[in-house]
Protein backbone atom coordinates (compact mmCIF):
# COMPACT_ATOMS: atom_id res chain seq x y z
CA UNK A 1 0.00 0.00 0.00
CA UNK A 2 1.28 3.46 -0.90
CA UNK A 3 1.03 5.88 2.02
CA UNK A 4 3.59 8.55 1.13
CA UNK A 5 1.77 10.54 -1.57
CA UNK A 6 3.49 13.76 -2.68
CA UNK A 7 2.49 16.69 -4.87
CA UNK A 8 5.02 18.81 -6.76
CA UNK A 9 6.17 21.80 -4.73
CA UNK A 10 5.72 24.06 -7.77
CA UNK A 11 2.01 23.30 -7.80
CA UNK A 12 1.48 25.33 -4.57
CA UNK A 13 -2.23 25.29 -3.69
CA UNK A 14 -3.35 24.29 -7.15
CA UNK A 15 -5.70 21.30 -7.02
CA UNK A 16 -5.15 20.37 -10.68
CA UNK A 17 -2.05 18.30 -10.08
CA UNK A 18 -0.82 14.76 -10.06
CA UNK A 19 0.38 13.14 -6.86
CA UNK A 20 2.98 10.42 -6.87
CA UNK A 21 3.82 7.84 -4.25
CA UNK A 22 5.87 4.67 -4.00
CA UNK A 23 6.17 1.47 -2.02
CA UNK A 24 8.65 -1.35 -2.59
CA UNK A 25 8.81 -1.80 -6.38
CA UNK A 26 5.59 0.09 -7.16
CA UNK A 27 5.06 3.72 -8.17
CA UNK A 28 1.59 5.23 -8.16
CA UNK A 29 0.02 8.32 -9.71
CA UNK A 30 -3.32 9.88 -8.86
CA UNK A 31 -5.29 13.09 -9.48
CA UNK A 32 -5.46 15.67 -6.67
CA UNK A 33 -8.93 16.80 -7.80
CA UNK A 34 -10.35 13.64 -6.23
CA UNK A 35 -8.95 14.31 -2.76
CA UNK A 36 -12.44 14.24 -1.22
CA UNK A 37 -12.72 10.52 -1.91
CA UNK A 38 -11.38 8.04 0.64
CA UNK A 39 -7.86 6.91 -0.27
CA UNK A 40 -9.05 3.37 -0.93
CA UNK A 41 -11.55 4.64 -3.54
CA UNK A 42 -9.36 7.13 -5.43
CA UNK A 43 -8.47 5.98 -8.95
CA UNK A 44 -4.75 5.29 -9.05
CA UNK A 45 -2.38 4.24 -11.81
CA UNK A 46 0.22 1.76 -10.55
CA UNK A 47 3.46 0.91 -12.35
CA UNK A 48 6.57 -1.08 -11.60
CA UNK A 49 9.61 1.16 -10.99
CA UNK A 50 11.10 0.39 -14.42
CA UNK A 51 7.84 1.18 -16.22
CA UNK A 52 7.41 4.41 -14.21
CA UNK A 53 10.93 5.47 -15.14
CA UNK A 54 10.22 4.76 -18.82
CA UNK A 55 6.99 6.79 -18.60
CA UNK A 56 8.81 9.79 -17.10
CA UNK A 57 11.59 9.56 -19.70
CA UNK A 58 9.00 9.56 -22.48
CA UNK A 59 7.16 12.55 -20.98
CA UNK A 60 10.40 14.53 -20.59
CA UNK A 61 11.50 13.78 -24.15
CA UNK A 62 8.23 14.91 -25.75
CA UNK A 63 8.30 18.41 -27.19
CA UNK A 64 5.46 20.65 -26.11
Convert the pLDDT of each residue in 11-60 to its tens digit. 766 667 889 999 999 999 998 888 889 988 889 999 999 999 999 899 88
Residue 15, pLDDT score: 66
* Domain boundaries, position 15: 6-61
Residue 12, pLDDT score: 67
Residue 45, pLDDT score: 94
> Are the C-beta atoms of 45 and 53 separated by less than 8 Å?
no
* 1 located within any domain: no
What is the domain count for the chain? Answer: 1
Q: Quote the CA–CA distance of 47 and 8 in Å, as a whole number.
A: 19
* 37 located within any domain: yes
* 14 located within any domain: yes
Q: Quote the CA–CA distance of 41 and 13 in Å, as a whole number.
A: 23
Residue 1 clears pLDDT 90, i.e. is over it: no
* 15 located within any domain: yes
* 20 located within any domain: yes
* 39 located within any domain: yes
* 48 located within any domain: yes
> Are the C-beta atoms of 23 and 1 separated by less than 8 Å?
yes
Residue 59, pLDDT score: 85
Amino acid sequence: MIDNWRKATRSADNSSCVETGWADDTVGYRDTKQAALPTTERPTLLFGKDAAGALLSMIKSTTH
